[in-house]
Amino acid sequence: MSVSDLSDLEVIRVLVVDDHPVVRAGLRAMLAGTVGFAVVGEAANGDGIAELALRTRPDVVLMDLRMGAGVDGVGATAALVALANPPRVLVLTVYDTDQDILRAIEAGATGYLLKDAPPETLLDAIRRAAAGETVLAAPVAGRLARRVRSPEPALTSRELEILGHVAAGRTNRDIATELHLSEATVKSHVAHIYVKLGVDSRAAATSTAITRGLIRTSGPGQTAGPPTG
């Protein structure tokens, strides 16, 4: 009972959404040790984020993008900006891939920061976000600028689907069978993918797809079991 009772005046009310307890503790500590900020709530994922926002009435929501379980950052951001009196959503993540950045901004995020940002930068960003200003981390801004200068053609959903199978090591024929297509059609899609990615082989396409976050790799979770003997 102290700062948070000053009835919204001068104090920026912050809601922290991050699945890492350590990160939440860090943000809480940083904001508690600075005048002008009040952490009004926390969540480990996007589940019920709208209700939480209505209850805690934050000015700024610090949002992690990828969270282990539950609604992810993009979905939570979309849910928040759809509110009647939406808070500003400031994405705070370790990932700076084009895909993540674009999806977050499209979802309505006011800013995009990286977790390795120094405290002053972070505090300043929250203030700017609260004021309605768009704030982007330098590397993020660079990516967006580069993207505008040389717009990378977006893959269609069909192409992304095919790309996923290609990265999984499937042959054109396998993909054709699985998607109920002609092999010629698959080859056509693959050729288009190559052009758009600036690539000329399945391996290179796979590499590009993964590093750009175009496809979701199941990760090395299920080991294919090499010799298995």
Partner DNA sequence: CCGGATGTCATCCGTTCGGCCGATGCGCCC
Partner DNA sequence: GGGCGCATCGGCCGAACGGATGACATCCGG
26 makes contact with a second copy (CB under 8 A): yes
Q: How many residues does the chain have?
A: 229
194 makes contact with DNA (CB under 7 A): yes
192 makes contact with a second copy (CB under 8 A): no
H or E, element range at 14:
strand 12-17
The pair of structure tokens assigned to 208 is 């590009």
Per partner kind, with CB cut-offs from 5 to 8 A, the member of a second copy, DNA, none near residue 159 is DNA
Scanning 82-90, 94-102, 125-133, 178-186 for contacts with a second copy by CB under 8 A, the matching segment is 94-102
Other C-beta atoms closer than 10 Å to the C-beta of 106 total: 11
Cα–Cα distance, 101 to 146 (Å, whole number): 13
191 makes contact with DNA (CB under 7 A): yes
Please list every residue from 134 through 173 that binds a second copy, using CB under 8 A. 146, 150, 152-153, 166-169, 171
* Among positions 32, 138, 184, 210, the unique one binding DNA when judged by CB under 7 A: 184
Phi-psi region of 9 (alpha: psi -120 to 50; beta: other; left: phi over 0): beta
Cα–Cα distance, 193 to 163 (Å, whole number): 7
Cα–Cα distance, 52 to 74 (Å, whole number): 16
191 three-state secondary structure: helix
- The contact set with a second copy (CB under 8 A) reads 19-30, 68, 92, 94, 97-98, 115-119, 122, 146, 150, 152-153, 166-169, 171, 195-208, 210-213, 217-220, 223-228
- The contact set with DNA (CB under 7 A) reads 154, 156-159, 171-173, 179, 181-185, 187-192, 194, 200-202
